[in-house]
């Protein structure tokens, strides 16, 4: 029936559309007929009329075509709907047949089928009960896990407290401090309350289990249904609680994420505002510099911190976000460069290098990690991939230059100077030991002890309070030190070769703190720190007045006592022989001070000065490699202040060795007056600007910026001595030191034709005008920290480019005419040194047996 109705509907729609088609005529509109009647029979008007008729016919034909297309589309749609309706009707018929068949089957069904349906219903119920039990078990297991975790945490706390008590008890037993108590480790009321709560929970759980067992035994079978209902309700409640708990956790996580996003936004806003404030201050300072200062108001000095922040923000390199180009030809095409145009990359804050290269019409590659360059200048060695460099590419680093630029490398490699030059390193390098090596650690301990004997004799000679027993032991040790090794080998009755015995060391070291007292003091300091952290107790002031009084009393006793003239004469004779034999006799002084340094750190980090062997060994036990070096106790002082010299050296080749010496250098002073007894004050003993700038007296120092030009030192020495000691003695010795230090490493550093490296030498001068090498620094600081460095850094950066670029690219004929600034060629060796077999770090041992007579 439904199909017949659909056919009727389609036929009626088709008849209506056919009538509309036949009703369409080609009669022109009334307006056009009027125009025909009104128009004349002129030839121009006839042509226009003909064209209009053609256009009108074309429009009518297009409309007909569109109408036919629409009719065909409607037909297709009607057919599709007709098919869909037919399919639905067929489905309905099939469903009706199935229902009729099922009804017939129900009437003919067996009674056994009814039993099967009941079994299915029971199985569904059992499944639901299992689900509820699973939910219950999961929740109970979750609760059990929480309880077990809490128990484990409580046990861990108890074990930690027991460990603390045991360690404190052991320390007290070892040090004899059973009466010492500390507030930190006393049991607090909060811990006791937690223990009481745990005990109460345990008792409750045990009683609940016993009651549950008794009730289960007494329960009747009729109450099982009620229990099941209660269990179902409880399981539903458990599920609801679990869902609530999960929702609460999700909400908490969402809140935490929002807080993190807000904190990030705040930090970004703060950085943005700080940058704007710093830049605005920079513009204000520039405007103030451009305006003339008023006579009424005195100009104020800007703060150092703000200036440094401005420099960092203004000179901070921007990250490259553009496409990465690895082919230099593609790079030249992109930036329209010719093959003659040179490209450079700078990674770090080196505005003077950039200025010098731009002056030479070089092009800067904005991508700091790009391989497309002719010269690359970086702060760190790791920023240059040496394996991928070509011979035509220049850079400011050599591979394996750590053999000279680290304290450990310099300490080890200077000992191999004997193979290149017949020079004793003790004449220019204070004795140094790598205490991470056990053999060198034992050598340092013996050296410390024998220098202690020398210091005792010096104290006795200068009329200080020293007991005769200590002087006699010091004489024995010093005489053993003066023995010749050949005589010891030839003498069969020489006995042991030990320079000092344990009993002798106890007598010599009687004026210093013992090992037990040091441990006791360390433990007391540790307890004081803990009490101060928890109870905010102020630091106790060190008792300096008592020591001064004791020293004054001892000096008075020494003046009143009559010394043995023969003992004094013998001490003076031994000291005279020691001075002739050992070149570092004068810098040893009378305090036996040694400086402990980390092996690979810079800018004065981790450095300490000590005159106690126990303190040095305790300091060296920390993690990392350490170097112990002799402290120069008799430095040259200017205005009662210690200083060192920063000297620049440029190496353009290691094999053959070629080095350039910068004729100008600068001095770095300590802010506070030199007092040798105060070893804990870094502002006295360490002259690094990175340390001195944090002193309270830095701004008010007698020396502006705590720095001098080398010319100022030369003028001062001329006034004091009447001759040019700087040019005649000190500077030539410094050049020799530089040469010796480079020669001992020339076979260890990897040479490369396009590399050059600028080194910063730290040199000290003693009171006898002898220079001493302290260390060699790679990538020395080139910031404008003071007016002195601002002037010299600009010059040395410009002059390095003169040597690296102008001199290196020039032809052999023109090299003699190239301006190299203040750099002078220190030496250029013609020999090419063969690289040795890599055996660094091996311990060579000679073993043997005595010949039986």
In a domain, 163, yes or no: no
pLDDT for 105: 65
In-domain check, residue 779: yes
Which position has the higher pLDDT, 605 or 192?
605
More confident residue, 679 or 775: 775
* Same domain? 387 vs 423: no
CA distances from 354 to 181, 247, 343, 540, 756 (A): 64, 59, 11, 53, 17
- Whether residue 668 lies inside any domain: the answer is yes
Q: Among 87-96, 131-140, 162-171, 387-396, whose mean pLDDT is lowest?
A: 131-140
The band of 301, judged by pLDDT with boundaries at 50, 70 and 90, is very low
Higher pLDDT, 133 or 676: 676
Taking a C-beta distance cutoff of 8 angstroms, is the pair 247, 255 a contact? no
**Is there a domain that residue 750 lies in?**
yes
| Selected residue with higher pLDDT from 297 and 769 | 769
List pLDDT tens digits, range 554-601: 444 545 455 678 888 999 999 999 999 999 999 988 889 999 988 767
Q: Are 42 and 82 in contact (CB under 8 A)?
A: no
Is 749 inside any structural domain? yes
| Domain limits for position 85 | 2-107
With respect to residue 549, please indicate whether it lies within any of the assigned structural domains: no
What's the domain count of the chain? 3
Count of Cβ atoms closer than 10 Å to residue 136 Cβ: 15
Whether the predicted pLDDT of 724 surpasses 90: yes
Residues 20 and 72 in one domain: yes
Are both 711 and 657 inside the same structural domain?
yes
Is the link from the previous residue into 291 a cis peptide, with omega within 30 of 0? no
Q: What is the mean pLDDT of residues 35-39?
A: 46
Work out the pLDDT band at 24, boundaries 50, 70, 90.
very low
DSSP element (H, E) containing 707: strand 707-709
Q: Which residue has the tokens 């049991």?
A: 187
Beta-carbon count within 10 A of 741 CB: 23
Over residues 240-250, the pLDDT tens digits come to: 877 787 888 88
Say if residue 109's pLDDT is above 90.
Answer: no
354, 423: one domain: no
- How many other CB atoms are found less than 10 A from the CB of residue 744? 24
Mean pLDDT of the chain: 78
**Domain shared by 729 and 793, yes or no:** yes
How far apart are alpha carbons 400 and 413 in whole angstroms?
A: 13
User: Per-residue pLDDT averaged across 432-442, rounded?
Assistant: 90
Residue 604, sorted as left (phi over 0), alpha (psi -120 to 50) or beta, turns out to be left
Co-location of 26 and 73 in the same domain? yes
Show the CA angle centred on residue 687, arms to residues 310 and 675, nearest 5°.
Answer: 135
The tens digit of pLDDT for each residue in 788-835 reads 999 999 999 999 999 999 998 888 888 888 999 999 999 888 766 665
- Is residue 347 one of the residues assigned to a domain? yes
pLDDT digits 0-9 by tens, 252-291: 888 888 888 888 888 878 777 777 777 777 666 656 554 5
> In the structure encoding, which two tokens stand for residue 234, read together?
């409880």
> pTM here?
0.60
> By CB neighbour count within 10 A (0-12 exposed, 13-18 middle, 19+ buried), where does 698 fall?
middle
- Region of 81 (left: φ > 0; alpha: ψ -120 to 50; beta: rest) is alpha
Asked if residue 755 and residue 722 are part of one domain, the reply reads yes
Which of residues 332 and 683 earns the better pLDDT score? 332
pLDDT in the model for residue 637: 92
Query: Which CATH number fits the domain that encloses residue 652?
Result: 3.30.470.20
Q: Mean pLDDT over residues 101-118, rounded?
A: 61
Give me the percent of the chain exceeding a pLDDT of 70: 69
Are 372 and 423 members of one domain? no
Alpha carbon distance 186, 166 (integer Å): 13
DSSP conformational letter for 510: G
Residue-wise over 386-396: b if at least 16 C-beta within 10 A, else e?
A: eeebeeebbbb
Read off the tokens for 752. Answer: 């490369």
- Are 448 and 548 in contact, with CB atoms under 8 Å apart? no
10 Å Cβ neighbour count for 657?
25
Considering the domain architecture, whether residues 731 and 781 belong to the same structural domain is answered as yes
Pair 774, 763: CB distance under 8 Å: yes
The residue among 166 and 623 whose pLDDT is bigger is: 166
- In a domain, residue 601? The reply is no
Residues 758 and 700 in one domain: yes
> Residue 815 CB: number of other CB atoms within 10 A?
13
Q: What is the pLDDT, as a whole number, of residue 573?
A: 92
CA distance 577 to 478: 10
Q: Is the pLDDT of residue 299 over 50?
A: no
Q: What percent of the chain has pLDDT over 90?
A: 29
Phi and psi for 761 in degrees, rounded to 5?
Answer: -90, 130
831 in the same domain as 744: yes
For residues 389 and 423, membership in a common domain is answered with: no
User: pLDDT per residue over 638-656, tens digit each?
Assistant: 989 899 999 999 999 998 8
Q: What is the pLDDT of residue 698?
A: 74
């Amino acid at each position: 029936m439904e199909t017949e109705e659909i056919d009727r509907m389609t036929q009626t729609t088709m008849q209506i559309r056919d009538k509309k088609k036949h009703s369409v005529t080609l009669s022109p509109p009334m307006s056009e007929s009027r125009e025909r009647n009104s128009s004349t029979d002129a030839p121009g008007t006839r042509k226009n009329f003909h064209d209009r008729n053609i256009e009108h016919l074309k429009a009518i034909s297009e409309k007909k075509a569109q109408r036919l297309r629409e009719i065909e589309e409607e037909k297709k749609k009607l057919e599709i709907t007709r098919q869909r309706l037919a399919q639905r009707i067929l489905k309905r018929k099939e469903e009706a047949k199935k229902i009729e068949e099922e009804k017939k089957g129900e009437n003919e069904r067996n009674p056994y089928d009814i039993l099967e349906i009941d079994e299915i219903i029971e199985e569904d119920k059992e499944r639901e009960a299992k689900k509820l039990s699973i939910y219950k078990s999961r929740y109970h297991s979750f609760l059990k896990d929480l309880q077990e975790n809490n128990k484990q945490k409580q046990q861990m706390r108890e074990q930690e407290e027991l460990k603390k008590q045991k360690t404190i008890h052991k320390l007290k037993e070892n040090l004899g401090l059973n009466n010492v108590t500390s507030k930190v480790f006393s049991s607090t009321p909060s811990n006791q309350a937690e223990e009481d709560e745990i005990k109460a929970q345990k008792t409750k759980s045990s009683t609940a289990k016993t009651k549950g067992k008794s009730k289960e035994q007494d329960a009747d079978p009729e109450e099982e249904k009620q229990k099941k209902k209660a269990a179902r309700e409880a399981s539903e409640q458990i599920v609801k609680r679990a869902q609530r708990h999960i929702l609460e956790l999700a909400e908490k996580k969402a809140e935490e994420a929002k807080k993190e996003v807000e904190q990030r936004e705040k930090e970004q806003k703060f950085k943005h505002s700080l940058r704007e404030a710093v830049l605005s201050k920079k513009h204000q300072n520039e405007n103030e510099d451009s305006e003339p200062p008023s006579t009424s108001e005195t100009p104020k000095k800007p703060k150092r911190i703000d200036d440094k922040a401005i420099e960092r923000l203004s000179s901070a390199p921007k990250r490259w976000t553009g496409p990465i180009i690895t082919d230099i030809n593609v790079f030249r095409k992109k930036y329209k460069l010719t093959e003659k145009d040179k490209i450079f990359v700078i990674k770090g804050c080196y505005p003077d290098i950039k200025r010098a290269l731009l002056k030479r019409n070089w092009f800067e590659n904005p991508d700091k990690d790009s391989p497309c360059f002719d010269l690359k200048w970086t702060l760190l060695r790791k920023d240059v991939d040496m394996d991928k460099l070509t011979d035509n590419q220049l850079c400011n680093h050599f591979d394996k230059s750590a053999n000279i630029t680290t304290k450990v490398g310099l300490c080890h490699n200077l000992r191999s100077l004997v193979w290149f030059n017949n020079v004793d390193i003790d004449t220019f390098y204070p004795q140094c030991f790598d205490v991470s090596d056990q053999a060198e650690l034992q050598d340092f301990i013996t050296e410390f002890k024998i220098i202690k004997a020398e210091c005792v004799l010096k104290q006795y000679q200068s009329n200080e309070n020293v007991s005769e027993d200590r002087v006699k032991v010091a004489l024995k040790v010093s005489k053993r030190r003066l023995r010749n090794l050949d005589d010891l080998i030839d003498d069969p009755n020489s006995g042991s070769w030990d320079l000092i015995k344990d009993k002798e060391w106890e007598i010599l070291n009687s004026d210093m703190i013992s090992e037990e007292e040091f441990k006791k003091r360390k433990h007391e300091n540790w307890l004081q720190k803990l009490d101060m952290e928890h109870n905010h107790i102020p630091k106790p002031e060190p008792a300096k007045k008592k020591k001064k009084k004791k020293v004054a009393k001892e000096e008075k006793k020494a003046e009143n006592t009559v010394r043995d003239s023969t003992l004094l004469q013998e001490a003076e004779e031994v000291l005279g022989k020691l001075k002739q034999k050992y070149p570092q006799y004068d810098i040893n002084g009378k305090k036996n001070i040694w400086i402990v340094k980390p092996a690979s750190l810079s800018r004065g980090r981790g450095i300490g000065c000590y005159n106690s062997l126990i303190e040095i060994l305790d300091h060296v036990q920390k993690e990392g490699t350490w170097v112990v070096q002799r402290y120069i106790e008799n430095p040259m002082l200017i205005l009662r202040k210690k200083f060192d010299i920063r000297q620049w050296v440029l190496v353009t080749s290691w094999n053959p060795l070629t080095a350039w010496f910068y004729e100008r250098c600068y001095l770095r002073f300590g802010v506070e007056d030199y007092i040798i007894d105060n070893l804990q004050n870094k502002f006295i003993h360490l002259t690094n600007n990175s340390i001195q700038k944090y002193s309270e007296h830095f701004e008010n120092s007698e020396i502006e910026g705590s720095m001098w030009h080398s010319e100022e030192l030369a003028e001062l020495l001329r006034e004091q001595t009447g001759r040019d000691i700087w040019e005649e003695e000190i500077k030539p010795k410094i050049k020799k030191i530089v040469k010796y230090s480079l020669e001992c490493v020339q076979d260890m550093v990897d040479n490369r034709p396009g590399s050059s490296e600028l080194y910063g030498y730290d040199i000290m001068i003693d009171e006898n005008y002898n220079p001493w090498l302290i260390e060699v620094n790679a990538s020395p600081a080139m910031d404008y920290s003071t007016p002195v460095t601002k002037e010299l850094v600009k010059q040395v950066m410009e002059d390095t480019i003169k040597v690296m670029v102008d001199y290196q690219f020039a032809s052999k004929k023109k090299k003699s005419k190239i301006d190299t600034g203040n750099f002078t060629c220190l030496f250029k060796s013609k020999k090419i040194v063969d690289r040795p077999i890599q055996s660094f770090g091996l311990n060579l041992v000679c073993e043997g047996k005595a010949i039986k007579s």
